[in-house]
Amino acid sequence: MSTKSRLLLLAAGGTGGHMYPAQALAEAMLAKGWRVKLSTDRRGARYTEGFPSEVEIEQISASTFARGDFWAKLIVPFVLGIGVVSSLFAMRRDPPDVVVGFGGYPSIPALAAAWLLRRPRMIHEQNGVLGRVNQLFAKHVNQLACGSWPTAMPAGVTGVHTGNPVRAKILDRAGAGYIAPGDYPMSVLVMGGSQGARILSDLVPPALVDLPIAHLKHLRVSHQARREDIERVADFYADHGIVAEVETFFDDIPRRMSEAQLVISRAGASSVADISVIGRPSILIPLASAIRDEQTANAQALVKADAAILMSEPGLTVATLSAQIAAFMDAPDKATPMANAALRCAVPDATERLAALVEDLALEQITRGDPA
């Protein structure tokens, strides 16, 4: 079998945290001459615009117990079952050399079909705690790659630290020069991720407004917000004379982050990876509703390295957040060391590490047969 004919099937759920690492791996494997398919559901398909055009998108049936009423939850097994059957037929027609799951319920059909057909398979866990789906498959895959380290594992399961792959556009800005806060235009980037951005929309604008005028007169803000919050957040900034761009999604996050003096963000795994690779000081506010508190685990490396300030959502107020931002702005001599510390936490070759695991699995299939 020639290398160019090899097929990688990526299975990822419907959030950026799952899809961005999948996109990074897709880019790398295409460059190595592999064919790449992506298995996801309707929700995940919204994140595929950034994928290379060569990636074939297979939209499958998937659902989650986490949303909907009693009846919606009741049909979840049947919906997933349809997805598994569909994936089985697809793999029979075009057998993948390796299947890589990135978490989320939409990855269940492809991973289950790969297990049933004994195709080489692995999962990549972005967070410091395994998600539900990756917990389910942890003992039924040939390899488990970890984005955060250490990652809490089920008994008897070991993982390989690869880091979290970041998109090529992030790598293009890796280690971008940092300018500490001062008496000149300063940028703040506010990112809420795909979940839980509302508290940032509630607290960050007034917290910035409460800063001393010496900081306010130079401030520029890029703020990601939920669609329903955009108008009120934009109006608040405008009413208080702060120059701000407020959008549900910025397609030029790498540029905005590289130009920022400070990033205020949730602690999603992809966000933490991007902040580390570009190298920016941050205030991280983990999602309080996360059942496994994985975002706090994600933030630990940056916090312990003095690259980030951790602020817990419970008890967080406009006053406490504003005080923390002001303290950062008032200590420019500490800002550059924070940026450098973030860089030391980065794993810029995470994609290459993950790609190497994929090729190793494919080689095992050729030399020793199916290792399942």
- Identical fold, 3-166+348-368 and 171-344: yes
Give 177: exposed, middle or buried? Use CB within 10 Å, 0-12, 13-18, 19+: exposed
Whole-angstrom distance, CA of residue 123 vs CA of residue 89: 21
Within 10 angstroms of residue 98's Cβ, the number of other Cβ atoms is 26
Instruction: In whole angstroms, give the CA distance from residue 163 to residue 347.
Output: 6
Which residues of the chain fall short of a pLDDT of 50?
1-3, 65, 69, 71, 196, 371-372
Pick the closest to residue 233 from 269, 266, 270, 190 (CA basis). Answer: 190
Domain 3-166+348-368 has CATH 3.40.50.2000: yes
- Does residue 219 sit in helix, strand or coil? strand
Q: What is the pTM of this model?
A: 0.87
Burial class (CB in 10 A: 0-12, 13-18, 19+), 131: buried
Spatial distance between the Cα atoms of 188 and 149, rounded to a whole number of angstroms: 28
Q: Residue ranges per domain, the chain?
A: 3-166+348-368, 171-344
- What's the pLDDT tens digit per position in 123-166? 999 999 999 899 999 999 999 999 998 888 888 899 999 999 99
pLDDT score at 71: 47
Give the pLDDT score at 52. 93
Please report the pLDDT score of residue 4 as a whole number.
Answer: 52
Question: Could you please report the per-residue DSSP string of 299-350?
Answer: HHHHHHTTSEEE--STT--HHHHHHHHHHHHT-HHHHHHHHHHHHHT--TTH
Distance CA 163, CA 71 (A): 39
**Using an 8 Å Cβ cutoff, are 181 and 148 in contact?**
no
3-state secondary structure of 143: strand
Output the CATH code of domain 171-344: 3.40.50.2000
CA pair distance 345, 277, nearest whole angstrom: 8
306 phi-psi bin (left φ>0, alpha ψ -120 to 50, beta other): left
- pLDDT at position 242 is 96
Distances, alpha carbon 188 to alpha carbons 83, 164, 172, 209, 265, in Å: 42, 24, 20, 13, 10
